[in-house]
Amino acid sequence: METIYMITKTIEKLFRSRGLGEVLLPVTPVSGGLMHRMFRVNTANSIYAVKHLNPEIMKRPDAMSNYQRAESLEKILEEANIPIIPALIINGQKMQELDGAYFYIFHWQNGSITDWDNITAEQCRQAGNILGRIHALRPKYIDHTAPVPSAIDWRESAAKAERQKSVIAPVLKENIELLDGAQDILNHARQALPDIECITDGDMDPKNVMWDNGKPLVIDLECLGYGNPASDVLQLSLQWAGMTTYSLNLDLLKAFFAGYLDAYDNGFRDYGSILGLAYAWIEWLEFNITRTLGCCQDESERETGAAETRSTIKRLQYLRAHQDLIKQTLEHLFDNI
6, HSE (Cβ side, Cα atoms, 13 Å)? 10
Average pLDDT over residues 148-156: 96
Instruction: Report the pLDDT value the prediction gives residue 35, as an integer from 0 to 100.
Output: 72
CATH number of domain containing 191: 3.90.1200.10
Q: Could you say which of 58, 91, 109 is where a domain stops?
A: 109
- Considering the domain architecture, whether residues 96 and 198 belong to the same structural domain is answered as no
Count of domains forming the chain: 2
Given pLDDT bands bounded at 50, 70 and 90, which one contains residue 34? low
- Contact status, residue 199 vs residue 230, Cβ threshold 8 Å: no
Give the per-residue pLDDT at 294.
Answer: 82
Q: Are residues 311 and 292 in the same domain?
A: yes
pLDDT for residue 47:
97
CA dihedral (168, 169, 174, 176) positive or negative: positive
Q: Are 309 and 288 in contact (CB under 8 A)?
A: yes
Write down which residue in 84, 109, 134 finishes a domain. 109
Q: Write the CB contacts of 183 (distance below 8 Å, at least 6 apart in sequence).
A: 150, 151, 152, 154, 279, 282
pLDDT class for 17, splitting at 50, 70, 90? Answer: very high
pLDDT at 2 over 60: no
Q: For residues 182 and 143, what is the distance between their CA atoms, to the nearest angstrom?
A: 27
Q: DSSP of 272-332, one letter per residue? A: GGGGGGGGGHHHHHHHHHHHHTT-SSSHHHHHHHHHHHHHHHHHHHHHHHHHHHHHHHHHT
DSSP per-residue string spanning 176-223: HHHHHHHHHHHHHHHTT--SEEEEEETT-SGGGEEEETTEEEE---TT
Would you say residue 207 has pLDDT above 70?
A: yes
Per-residue model confidence as pLDDT tens digits over 85-134: 999 999 999 999 999 999 999 999 999 998 888 999 999 999 999 999 99
Helices (H), 31-152: 55-58, 63-79, 121-135
Q: What is the mean pLDDT of residues 122-148?
A: 96
Would the pLDDT of 15 be above 60? yes
Do 139 and 177 belong to one domain? yes
Q: How far apart are CA 215 and CA 127, in angstroms?
A: 10
Give backbone dihedrals phi and psi of 89, rounded to 5 degrees, phi first: -95, 120
- Supply φ then ψ for residue 296, to 5 degrees: -150, 165
Mutual angle of helices 281-292 and 154-163, in 10-degree steps: 20
Burial string for 28-52 (b: 16+ CB within 10 Å, else e) reads eeeeebebbbbbebbeeeeebbbbb
Position 4 confidence tier, pLDDT thresholds 50, 70, 90? confident
- Flag whether pLDDT at 296 surpasses 80: no
**242 is in which domain, residue-wise?**
113-331
Percent of the chain with pLDDT strictly greater than 70: 97
Q: Answer whether residue 1 shows pLDDT above 50.
A: no
Q: Tell me: do 13 and 146 sit in the same domain.
A: no
Q: Which of 88, 109, 130 is the last residue of a domain?
A: 109
- Asked if 156 and 31 sit in the same domain, the reply is no
Residues 14 and 145 grouped into a single domain: no
Check residue 93 and report its DSSP letter: B
CA-nearest of 208, 272, 205 to 239 is: 205
Report the percent of the chain where pLDDT is more than 90. 88
How does pLDDT run across 157-179, given as a tens digit for each residue?
999 999 999 999 999 999 999 99
- One domain, residues 229 and 254: yes
pLDDT over 90 at 302, yes or no: no
pLDDT in tens, 229-265: 999 999 999 999 999 999 999 999 999 999 999 999 9
Looking at the structure, do residues 268 and 173 belong to the same domain, yes or no?
yes
Residues sharing a CB contact under 8 Å with residue 336, sequence separation 6 or more, in sequence order = none
